[in-house]
């Protein structure tokens, strides 16, 4: 993996200019490290070319649930407003060692726990494609900051969809890696068996470059798995002819608009033109994934994590967070056990399917980003992660990427999922799609 030769200082200055221009409207950033980033860029530019890292000068921000030594990690909660990190997260060290410029911390849904990023304490994040709409969550600031060109890549986190939903709503590529592939040490999470960290960027190639740097075993993370990381960059540009993609119309097409259906059908046609075989499959009772993961396991784990603090400082939690935690507190042991048995069976079923196909393709979200004024309608909020829970429950990697635009000019998105630790294959398929389409090259009107 060869470093790119370009000016880190120029890239950093451009990102800071865009933050100054667009962040007052979008509110994507909680912390901006302007002086620190410029000094870092100058140091990188002084290095001889042969000493530069694989991410030389790439401007990256961290979702503000990830530690950067000397910087506050808030998780968008007033409770953590003075929580200065003493050490770098594993992922922060990896980025810095590879030559990245970390420009700051992005806004998010409070406690990494919601799909809208309408923060009670740090203000709502707005969507650069239409500021009257939400950017998705919980990594909403990550998605909005990349779309508004405040950075090249942002590192987000995903428990049930929090990387892929903001990617979908902001017209980006976003990778949820396999559980255990990228260390979560030094980050605030929700449910350890399902939490992951991963990159969001405009291009799959940028996402793949960052993935290659941050993936790897970390003994400090109990969920980390000691397994070799294949070179995803070496296969990125290889032909996908002969690959097999599975697809299920049932259930997915019951919940999406005709224009999203058309975009998905067009994407399947693109893959056919590249020599990929499309295989019709049926995933069985996959419609239960959101109930089992989103409404049981994650809620119960989150309640246990916050139980004591919630009792001591209830007013420091947003109303929506209190509501979700209260539901988690009412779940019984049998409820949790039943959900775990379903997840185990689903993972086993899916592992068998992935011996027949290289990847699965589906819509990322069933709806367009809702208007912020409509957020009191719980139906829309419940709909947002309906599809992303499916592969999160299985712990397998999945990649969201843009596949079209709605009549209103909002991004449409599809998701590619692969077998556990099969990130290289879905990155290859995603990159192949982007090589023959231009959806990822479009810019929001705000920054056009």
- Residues with a known catalytic role: 63, 138, 162
pLDDT given for residue 114 in this prediction: 94
Q: State yes or no: pLDDT of 374 exceeds 80.
A: no
Superfamily (CATH H level) for 8-447: Amidase signature (AS) domain (3.90.1300.10)
Which residue did the predictor score with more confidence, 44 or 377?
Answer: 44
**Per residue in 159-213, pLDDT tens?**
999 999 999 999 999 999 999 999 999 999 999 999 999 999 999 999 999 999 9
Map out the domains of the chain as residue ranges. 8-447
Across 276-290, average pLDDT: 97
pLDDT in tens, 322-370: 999 999 999 999 999 999 999 999 999 999 999 999 999 999 999 999 9
The phi-psi region of residue 199 (left if phi > 0; otherwise alpha if psi is between -120 and 50; otherwise beta) is: beta
- 5 burial type by CB count under 10 A (0-12 exposed, 13-18 middle, 19+ buried): exposed
Residue 262 has pLDDT above 90, yes or no: yes
How many percent of the chain have pLDDT more than 90? 94
Residue 3: per-residue pLDDT: 46
375 vs 302 pLDDT, higher one: 302
pLDDT digits (tens, 9 = 90+) for 81-91: 999 999 999 99
- Cα-flanking dihedrals φ and ψ of residue 157, to 5°? -130, 160
Instruction: Report the Cα 2 to chain-centroid distance in Å.
Output: 25
CA 309 to chain centre: 27
Measured N-to-C along each axis, helices 8-26 and 34-45 cross at an angle, to the nearest 10 degrees, of 160
Tell me the pLDDT of the chain averaged across its residues: 96
- 221: confidence class by pLDDT, cuts 50, 70, 90: very high
pLDDT at 258 over 90: yes
Q: What percent of the chain is modeled with pLDDT above 70?
A: 98
Give residue-wise pLDDT tens across range 315-326: 999 999 999 999
Q: Would the pLDDT of 5 be above 60?
A: no
Q: Is residue 4's pLDDT more than 60?
A: no
277-286 burial code (b ≥16 CB/10 A, e <16)? eeeebebeeb
Note the pLDDT of residue 294.
96
DSSP 152-214: SEEEEEESSSTTHHHHHHHT-EEEEPPTTTS--TTB--S-TTT-EEEEEESSHHHHHHHHHHH
Token pair, residue 83, equals 């929580």
At residue 1, the pLDDT reads 45
**Three-class DSSP category at 425:** helix
Beta-strand relationship, 29-32 and 101-106: antiparallel
Calculate mean pLDDT across residues 20-42: 98
């Amino acid at each position: 993996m060869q470093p790119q030769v370009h000016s880190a200082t120029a890239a950093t200055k451009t990102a800071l200019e865009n933050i100054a221009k667009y962040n007052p409207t979008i509110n994507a950033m909680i912390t901006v490290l302007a002086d620190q980033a410029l000094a870092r860029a100058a140091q990188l530019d002084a290095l001889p070319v042969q000493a530069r890292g694989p991410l030389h000068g790439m401007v990256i921000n961290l979702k503000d649930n990830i530690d950067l030594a000397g910087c506050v990690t808030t998780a968008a909660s007033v409770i953590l407003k003075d929580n200065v990190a003493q050490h770098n997260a594993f992922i922060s060290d990896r980025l810095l060692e590879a030559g990245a410029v970390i420009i700051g911390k992005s806004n998010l849904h409070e406690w990494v726990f919601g799909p809208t990023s309408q923060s009670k304490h740090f203000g709502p994040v707005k969507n650069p494609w239409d500021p009257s709409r939400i950017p998705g969550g919980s990594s909403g600031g990550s998605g909005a900051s990349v779309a508004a060109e405040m950075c090249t890549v942002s590192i987000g986190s995903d428990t049930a969809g929090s990387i892929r939903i903001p990617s979908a709503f902001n017209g980006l590529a976003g990778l949820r890696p396999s559980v255990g592939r990228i260390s979560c040490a030094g980050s605030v999470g929700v449910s350890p068996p399902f939490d992951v960290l991963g990159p969001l960027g405009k291009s799959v190639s940028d996402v793949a470059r960052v993935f290659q740097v941050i993936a790897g075993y970390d003994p400090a993370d109990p969920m980390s798995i000691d397994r070799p990381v294949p070179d995803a960059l070496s296969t990125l540009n290889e032909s996908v002819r002969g690959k097999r993609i599975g697809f299920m119309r049932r259930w997915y097409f019951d919940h999406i608009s005709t224009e999203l259906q058309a975009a998905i059908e067009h994407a399947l046609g693109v893959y056919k033109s590249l020599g990929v075989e499309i295989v019709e499959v049926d995933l069985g009772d996959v419609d239960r994934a959101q109930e089992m993961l989103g409404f049981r396991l994650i809620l119960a784990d989150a309640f246990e994590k916050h139980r004591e603090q919630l009792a001591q400082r209830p007013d420091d939690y947003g109303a929506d967070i209190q509501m979700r935690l209260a539901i988690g507190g009412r779940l019984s042991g049998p409820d949790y056990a039943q959900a775990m048995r379903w997840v185990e069976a689903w993972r086993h079923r899916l592992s068998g399917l992935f011996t027949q196909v290289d990847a699965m393709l589906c819509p990322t979200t069933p709806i367009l980003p809702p208007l912020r004024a409509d957020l009191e309608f719980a139906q829309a909020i419940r709909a947002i992660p309906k599809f992303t829970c499916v592969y999160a429950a299985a712990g397998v990697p999945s990649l969201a990427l843009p596949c079209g635009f709605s009549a209103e000019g909002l991004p449409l998105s599809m998701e590619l999922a692969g077998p556990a630790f099969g990130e290289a294959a879905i990155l290859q398929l995603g990159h192949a799609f982007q090589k023959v389409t231009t959806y990822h090259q479009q810019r929001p009107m705000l920054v056009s």
